[in-house]
Amino acid sequence: MGRAKKAVVEDAAANDEALLALLAAGLRLQSADNLWRVSGNTLSYRTLLRDAGGTWNRLDQCWEFAGEDPAPRLKAALDAAPAPAGHNSGFADAQAEPKPHYHGHRARVRERVLKAGVESLPDYELLELILFYAIERIDTKPLAKRLIERFGTLGDIFAAEPAQLREFEIDQRTLVLFRAMRESGRRLAERKVKDMPVMTNWQQLLDYCHAALAHEKTEQFRILFLDRKNVLIADEVQQRGTIDHTPVYPREVVKRALALNAAALILVHNHPSGDPKPSREDVEMTKEIRKAAEALGIAIHDHLVIGRKGHASFRSLGLIS
C-alpha cells in the first residue's frame, strides 16, 4: 500500500473513531453550509465545546464550528475531560475518574424530598429538582440559580419566552416541561373555583386569576360568567392585546353573556408591567360594559386587575358599588 493511500486510510479510521467518541457522549456532528454543527447532549459539554472554538446557535439549538472537521479535537477534549456524572464515555474506566462534587446529589435530593416533602425547598432547589427530569447527567443547581436570578420567580421562568430561555441553552424538552408546569398550576387553581359559588370562595378566585394572568407578557381580558347562584359557568378570554392595551367591545361582552344565560360577570385583565393599579382607560371601559350589561339585567360584580405585584379590585376601590 502506498504512503498516500495509507495516510488516507489512517485519517478515515481516526475520523471514524472520533465520530464514535462523539456519539458515545451523546453528541451528533453534521456538516451544513460550510459549517460543522454539533447537537444532542450539548448542555453537558457546553464548556468543552466553547473552549474547542464552538459558537452557540440559539436559533438552531446547536454548536457551530468553522473551518476543518472539529471531530478529532473534540475527541481529544473528551478523552482529557472527566465524564459528566453518571456518564461513561466508553473510552475510559469511569471508576478511575475522580467523582465530581455533585456525584449522588440527585439521589440525596430525592431522598430528602421523600422524607420531608417539598414545602421547605427554596425556589432554586425546587427548580433544580424539576430540571432533574429534563436535563441528564449534569449539576442543575447552577442553572436553577441563574434562572431565578434572571427571571425572579418560578412563574416568570415557566412563562418566559423561548428566545429568553435559549440564552441559557434551554432545549425544547425543558421548554415543554416549563409550559406543562405552568398549565398544571393554572388547572389546579381553576379546580378550586369551578362549579362553586365564587363570591364565598374569593381568595381561591384571586389565586386562580393570578395563576392564569400574572405572568402573561401581553394584556388579556377575561370574563368570568356566573349563574344566578354566582356559580362559575365559564371563564373565557374575550380579547388579547399588546403589552399595555386590550380592545374590549361591550356589545360582544353582553352578547356572550346572553348566549351563556349568565346572570352576573366578573371582569378580569392583567397589567404586564406588574403594577395592578387601574388606568383611566380601565375605569372608562368598565363603565361602558356595566352600562350595557345592567340594561339587560346582568350584574357586574367586580373588575379585577392582576399584576405580578398583586391585584386591584374595582369594588374594593369604590369604583363599582
| Sequence ranges of the domains in the chain | 3-90, 105-187, 195-313
pLDDT tens, position by position, 188-223: 888 888 878 888 889 999 999 998 898 888 899 999
| Cell numbers linked to 278 | 387601574
- Asked if pLDDT for residue 291 goes beyond 90, the answer is yes
pLDDT at 84: 52
> In this structure, which topology does domain 195-313 adopt according to CATH?
Cytidine Deaminase; domain 2 (3.40.140)
- Asked if pLDDT for residue 186 goes beyond 90, the answer is no
More confident residue, 9 or 44: 44
- Cα separation, 50 vs 237, in Å, equals 45
- Asked if pLDDT for residue 10 goes beyond 50, the answer is no
- Minimum mean pLDDT among 23-27, 136-140, 254-258, 307-311: which range? 136-140
Q: What three-state secondary structure class fits 282?
A: helix
Mean pLDDT of all residues in 169-180? 88
Helix boundaries (H) for 25-120: 46-51, 71-80, 105-116
Contact 18/75 with Cβ under 8 angstroms?
Answer: yes
| 41: amino acid identity, one letter | N
Instruction: Give whole-number Cα distances, 187 to 9, 122, 190, 194, in Å.
Output: 61, 23, 5, 10
Residue located via cell numbers 422524607: 115
pLDDT at 248: 82
Contact 232/204 with Cβ under 8 angstroms?
Answer: no
List of residues 6+ apart from 308 with CB closer than 8 A? 153, 155, 156, 214, 215, 274
More confident residue, 263 or 87: 263
- Asked if pLDDT for residue 102 goes beyond 60, the answer is no
Do you know the residue count of the chain? Answer: 321
| 129: amino acid identity, one letter | L
The pLDDT confidence band at residue 262, using thresholds 50, 70 and 90, is very high
Average pLDDT, the chain: 82
- Cα separation, 53 vs 142, in Å, equals 23
Mean pLDDT of all residues in 294-298? 94
| Nearest Cα residue to 130 out of 170, 101, 166 | 170
| 156: amino acid identity, one letter | D
**CB-facing half-sphere around the CA of 185: CA atoms within 13 A:** 18
pLDDT tens, position by position, 11-37: 445 667 878 888 888 888 888 777 888
